[in-house]
Amino acid sequence: MSDDLLNSLWQRRTRWSRTATHLKRRLDRTRLAVLLLGSWGAIATASTTTILRSAGIPTRIMALSGAVALAVATFLTAQYLTAESTRRWTRARAVSEGIKQRILAYCATGYPEQPGRLQADIAGIEQAADDLRPLLAPADTTVRAPRPMRPEEYVHDRVLAQIDDYYLPTARRYSARAARLRRAAIGLGLAATIVAAINTGVGAEAAGRIAPWVAVMTTLSGSLLAYLAVKRYDFLVMTYLATADRLHRRLDRWRADGSPTDRDRWGEFVADCENTISLENASWMAKWSERAEA
């Protein structure tokens, strides 16, 4: 296969990848905005009935800002956090990853009969997402496809890089984020419980000022837990660690067999590695699609 043709195929992959990244970033930013706007709406509502209930203009400003925040959060949820938005992102990512896996497998094996099959496979992958073409990012002609890889290069640049540079660090990052969100949610829930208990022992006037804040802390705690659930951090950590382990075990078996590079066993090794990565991608895409359709 000529370098120009391989570069063209890889550039098509990068267009899908950039499109998926853009769609995912918009979803993430919208979810965070909805979380913050909803939290501010709850705080502003409680403030107008407690701290600022007799403050005149400041009370009206606070009440207006809270109402606007809640209205905008509702609008963003209805317009951008839809099942179709999630499906567009996962499908674009699926196309990108499918093309990437086939090109890298070709670069690692590179048998003479493969170019035609590679082009047909990529065309079939893209055809399944023809409706997303209007969303495609512009082509970047400076992007170049990976060069043919010797066995040791494939092991280092694809298998070990996927384990050490992506799965393991991303799992650690997501685990830390999940832990922070969970601690914040538990802290708010505990604070709400303590304040509610204190509220039972104070006078009626004080109780009227405290009760709205108990509701706010409970709402914020629930919102953080819901945000944690929708981000799927725990599921992603589990699948990333499991996939890294499966790749390591497959690599260890190949090395234990003497690191064979003959056509049949090398092709089997590459196919197994790419299938392992493909299964991981399919698992989280299925999880997101499951949520979108719920």
Residue 209 banded pLDDT, cuts 50, 70, 90: confident
Q: How far apart are CA 38 and CA 140, in angstroms?
A: 39
Residue 294 banded pLDDT, cuts 50, 70, 90: very low
Residue 111 banded pLDDT, cuts 50, 70, 90: low
Q: Are 39 and 220 in contact (CB under 8 A)?
A: yes
Q: What is the pLDDT of residue 281?
A: 85
Tell me, yes or no, whether 105 and 78 share the same domain: yes
Tell me, yes or no, whether 117 and 6 share the same domain: yes
Tell me, yes or no, whether 43 and 136 share the same domain: yes
What's the pLDDT tens digit per position in 7-56? 999 999 999 999 999 999 999 999 999 999 999 999 999 998 888 766 67
Tell me, yes or no, whether 164 and 70 share the same domain: no
Read off φ and ψ for residue 198, nearest 5 degrees: -65, -35
Q: Are 129 and 42 in contact (CB under 8 A)?
A: no
- Domain end call among 148, 178, 207: 148
- Higher-pLDDT residue of 2 and 259 is 259
Tell me, yes or no, whether 52 and 12 share the same domain: yes
What's the pLDDT tens digit per position in 228-282? 999 999 999 999 999 999 999 999 999 999 999 999 999 999 999 999 999 988 8
Q: What is the pLDDT of residue 290?
A: 65
Is 288 a member of any domain? no
Q: What is the pLDDT of residue 183?
A: 97
Among residues 263, 185, 252, the alpha carbon closest in space to that of 224 is found at 185
Tell me, yes or no, whether 42 and 89 share the same domain: yes
Q: What is the pLDDT of residue 293?
A: 46
The token duo for 111 is 């048998």
Q: How is 29-86 classified by DSSP, letter by letter?
A: HHHHHHHHHHHHHHHHHHHHHTTTTT-SHHHHHHHHHHHHHHHHHHHHHHHHSSHHHH
Tell me, yes or no, whether 128 and 36 share the same domain: yes
Q: What is the pLDDT of residue 264?
A: 92
Rounded to 10 deg, the angle between the 57-80 and 3-49 helix axes is: 150
Q: What percent of the chain has pLDDT over 90?
A: 76
- Domain end call among 120, 148, 176: 148
Q: Are 42 and 216 in contact (CB under 8 A)?
A: yes
Tell me, yes or no, whether 142 and 79 share the same domain: yes
Residue 285 banded pLDDT, cuts 50, 70, 90: confident
Tell me, yes or no, whether 138 and 14 share the same domain: yes
- Domain end call among 116, 148, 180: 148
Is 169 a member of any domain? yes
Tell me, yes or no, whether 167 and 139 share the same domain: no
The token duo for 45 is 């509502």
Q: What is the pLDDT of residue 51?
A: 80
Long-range contacts of 224-231 (CB under 8 A, 24+ apart): 224/35, 224/181, 224/184, 224/185, 224/188, 225/181, 225/182, 225/185, 227/31, 227/32, 227/35, 227/181, 228/178, 228/181, 228/182, 228/185, 230/31, 230/291, 231/31, 231/177, 231/178
Model pTM score:
0.87
Q: Which domain holds residue 92?
A: 1-148
Q: How far apart are CA 188 and CA 255, in angstroms?
A: 51
